[in-house]
Amino acid sequence: MSPAPATGASAAGRVEAELRRAIVALELPPGTRLSEQEIALKYGVSRQPVREALIGLARTRLVDVQPQRGTVVVKFSVRKMMEARFVREAVEVAIVRQACQSFAAQSRQRIDDLLDMQEKAASRDDHGSFQRYDELFHVELTEGVGMPLAWEAIRDIKAHMDRICQLTLPGASVMLTLVEQHRSIMAAIDARDAAQAALAMRHHLTEILRALPKTEARYPDLFE
């Protein structure tokens, strides 16, 4: 891979985004040691933007920068998962309650399109596309109520949940269940039923917790 050269913040941001994607996709599994020199060579940048990118990832707790030992992709943490879900629930339940009062028509149409695409991705067991449309669904909810900053508040912590989702969504049937949960959230919003919308969102965000014990037992080396 030989991307166009970049300098300064743009280079650091690009490298951080690429590493973040690879960490979430488990292309860089928990426990992987990261080499500044190897990353710099791969992305065609100097070591300084790589260093800045790793600091950014450490800030979101996706990597652990260890003095004299290097940088390591953090292992899964049940505690962090619980914290991430707690914060997401607080924000996203508030979002769907607000959506029951007012929701942009353009965002509503966009969500219909996203859910159709997500369902097709699930049917063909396309995990990567499924997760991309999943994220866009949650982004569009915040856009529809005119609060895009709400997404910024939970984007980084969501990454900790997304990594484990790579292991807890093993097939089409599980993914199709999540699409139906999205549709249930939207049905409650369409009905202006704030209590039901909140209930549907809470149920949706606990799906990963129901799968967590089996996942931890199956992949003990990936957990703290």
Overall average pLDDT of the 39-61 stretch: 95
Predicted pLDDT at 9: 60
**Does residue 35 have a pLDDT over 80?**
yes
Q: Where are the domains of the chain?
A: 8-73, 78-222
Span 93-152, pLDDT tens digits: 999 999 999 999 999 999 999 999 999 999 999 988 999 999 999 999 999 999 999 999
User: Residue 10: how many CA atoms within 13 Å on its side-chain side?
Assistant: 6
Q: Are 27 and 62 in contact (CB under 8 A)?
A: no
Question: Are the C-beta atoms of residues 170 and 125 closer than 8 Å to each other?
Answer: no
Q: Given a cut of 90, is residue 6 above it in pLDDT?
A: no
* Confidence (pTM): 0.87
Helix 172-190 × helix 127-144 angle, to 10°: 10
pLDDT digits (tens, 9 = 90+) for 188-205: 999 999 999 999 999 999
Q: Do domains 8-73 and 78-222 have the same CATH topology?
A: no
Q: Is 63 helix (H, G, I), strand (E, B) or coil?
A: strand
Q: Are 48 and 14 in contact (CB under 8 A)?
A: no
Instruction: Please state which CATH number belongs to domain 8-73.
Output: 1.10.10.10
Max CA distance (Å), the chain: 57
Task: Name 34's bridge partners.
Answer: 71
Tokens matching residue 174: 């599980």
70-73 sheet: strands from edge to edge: 33-34, 70-73, 63-66
Q: Are 168 and 215 in contact (CB under 8 A)?
A: yes
> What would the two tokens of residue 188 be?
């409650």
Cα atoms in the Cβ-side hemisphere of radius 13 Å centred on 102: 4
Which class in CATH covers the domain with range 78-222? mainly alpha
Whether 36 and 50 have beta carbons less than 8 Å apart is answered as: yes
Phi, psi angles (nearest 5°) of residue 152? -60, -30
